[in-house]
Amino acid sequence: MLERRVVVTGYGALCCLGIGVDTIWENLIAGKCGIGQITQFDTAEFKTHIGGEIPGFDPLKYFPEKEARHLDRFVQLAVAAADEAMAMAGLSPDPAAAGLNVKRIGSIVSSGIGGLSEMMEASKTLVRRGPGRIAPFVIPKMIIDMASGHISIRYGLKGPNFGVVSACASGCHSIGEAFHIIRRQDADIMLAGGAEASIQELCVSGFNALKALSTRNDDPQHASRPFDLNRDGFVPSEGAGVVVLEELEHARRRGAHILCEVIGYGATGDGYHITSPDPEGEGDAEAFRIAMGHAGIGPEDIDYINAHGTSTALNDKYETIAIKKVFGDAVKRVSISSTKGATGHALGAAGALESIFCMKAIETGIIPPTINYETPDPECDLDITPNTARRREVRIAANNNLGFGGHNAVVLYRKFE
């Protein structure tokens, strides 16, 4: 069976840098940072007071008020990103009425945490008021698969429909799995990506307990500093990214504009630790090798890597080891950046947002910068595009993501030819 080619025909996103891919990209390459003081709850008793909140998001622009009340924020964000992606791909809000076979269109839009806010509020209600006061929408608002579920319901999609949960690699894994679904002929179009609304009390206090978050509360704009010697943890943020993947001939037949091609996907496990990456970097390196094997390319063919680069001590160090292990001497010519200096860490949405940044780098020939880089770390000696965007032709870009539990994911994108 011939493996079908998979292309990208649309994308949509919102994060702390703005709503809509064009706005986000303009702010990103300008070196702006979207991190500020958390406003969604009182942080007085917390060690971390800062996060990346989406400016001006109004769910009533996307849903009637009653429907919005029945959706957790992470689902609202997922649907908003999907609306932009569908419109960019030239897909009707009612694909069946437009003559498309909706049995061949599916959705894998995932989350690392899902409706944790709903879970926390429902738990408070249960303790204070008893089981009879739990609302019927608690479970549907809470569970992670509802991002994909509501997207499929909104557009009447009947194809593969599920969520991938791999912590901070969820968005990247979702795109990779959707890529394979189309290649093996189980669908012609897939909406894929991730969404997260994790700026809430339980999430922040939990990550504080792990000593994973930055406590640079007096300087939020410079708190997230991937690969910098003085990094002190990641900054939590919210957001969503959704891409439309499509089989090449299907896209051509309907006259879709092709943005780039997906050419490889690697997924591995470290089998090492619940939070720390493998110090040898072998699991992440193997994910790169698998993705390159799918694509039929070598390390010397990759022009840009959007690194996971969380701004934590162990991630940035061990990711550097992994990249150097698989790229060897070719690492000297590849441009690398972590965009989390600007966006913070959107957990399960990170891989989707950063995949879109890879696509924009291919489209524009601009490498987004790693901002807030002040003091080099000799253990992170990569070309990380410090502080200022750089012009460079990008033919092939890689998105690399890691997740708690030892999950590794790499997706490769190529300029369409």
Task: Just list the catalytic residues.
Answer: 168, 308, 345
- Beta carbons of 207 and 46 less than 8 angstroms apart: no
Burial level of 322, CB count in 10 A (0-12/13-18/19+)?
buried
Residues 6+ apart with CB under 8 A from 141: 70, 71, 72, 75, 115, 118
253 CB burial (10 A radius; 0-12, 13-18, 19+): exposed
Neighbour tally for 377: CB within 10 Å: 18
* Beta-strand runs (E) in 281-343: 304-306, 335-337
Residues forming beta bridges with residue 228, ordered by sequence position: 376
User: Do 412 and 295 meet the contact criterion of CB atoms below 8 Å apart?
Assistant: yes
* Residue 315 to residue 276: CA distance in whole angstroms: 7
Residues 6+ away with beta carbon under 8 Å from 317: 377, 379, 380
Report, in this order, helix, strand and coil percent for the chain, each rounded to 5: 40, 20, 40
Burial of 65 from C-beta contacts in 10 A (0-12 / 13-18 / 19+): exposed
Q: Which residues pair with 19 in a beta bridge?
A: 14
Calculate the alpha carbon distances from 338 to 95, 131, 187, 222, 416 in Å: 36, 45, 32, 14, 24
The DSSP result for 45-59, as a single string, is TSS--EEBPPTT--G
What is the rounded CA–CA span in Å between residue 371 and residue 358? 17
Return d(Cα 18, Cα 152) in angstroms, integer. Answer: 25
Separation CA 347–CA 196 (nearest Å)? 7
Cα-Cα-Cα-Cα dihedral sign, residues 304, 24, 313, 228: positive
Strands 18-19, 335-337: pairing kind: unpaired
